[in-house]
Structure 1
Amino acid sequence: MSSLDPAIASRLKRDADGLVPAVVQDAESHDVLMVGWMDDEALHRTLTTGRGTFWSRSRQDYWVKGETSGNTQAVREVRLDCDGDTLLVIVDQTGPACHTGDRTCFDADQLL
């Protein structure tokens, strides 16, 4: 278990797997870049290292954004929404945020 601040940990509403969605937003443009998942340990690592760290549901392991691609996220701040069930991670993004090479994961098909 991480050493996440108990005051924050008590406010987090996790899913059955102990995860909370983390919406990642560019600090300058305010564009939504991606959505990842964090448990207490991923959040603790993000807060202590200043690098976007997430839990991979498919690989069942932690990953740091840009660790292999070089497309890093320097975390400026992390906010908890009013319900405690979603995180907003505000970052300085270096390179594309999406694994497809796009700047954001939300540049694909517009539904409306």
Structure 2
Amino acid sequence: MITDNSILEDTGNTIKSNSNVLASTEQTVVEALSEAQAKITAANSAAASQAEAQASQAVVAAYSQAASAAAVGDTATASSAAALASSLVADSDSNAQSVTETTSESASQVAE
């Protein structure tokens, strides 16, 4: 026999079931967003590390260019390359990406 109470009980169970699904969906969305944030943070960290490594390589290349130039008596190039290397070391605390871009341009000028 269907009574008002049984209808209300069925309706309450349906609402409860739907709210459990919504709560589960909300948790899934929160977890997905948290995972995405972690991936973004890791990607940013990896990019910064790569830029720092490239900047360090540029310093080594500039010092190497200075040593090579000095070895053959080219004091002007040796001085320029040493100044570039010193400048790159001084800039190492600034944004690694901008240092890398500056290094690429400067290194090509020293080689000329």
Q: Which interval holds the TM-score relative to the shorter structure?
A: under 0.3
Give me the TM-score of the superposition, normalised by structure 2: 0.21
Tell me which structure has the larger Cα radius of gyration.
2
Q: Which has the higher strand share?
A: 1
Q: Which has the higher helix share?
A: 2
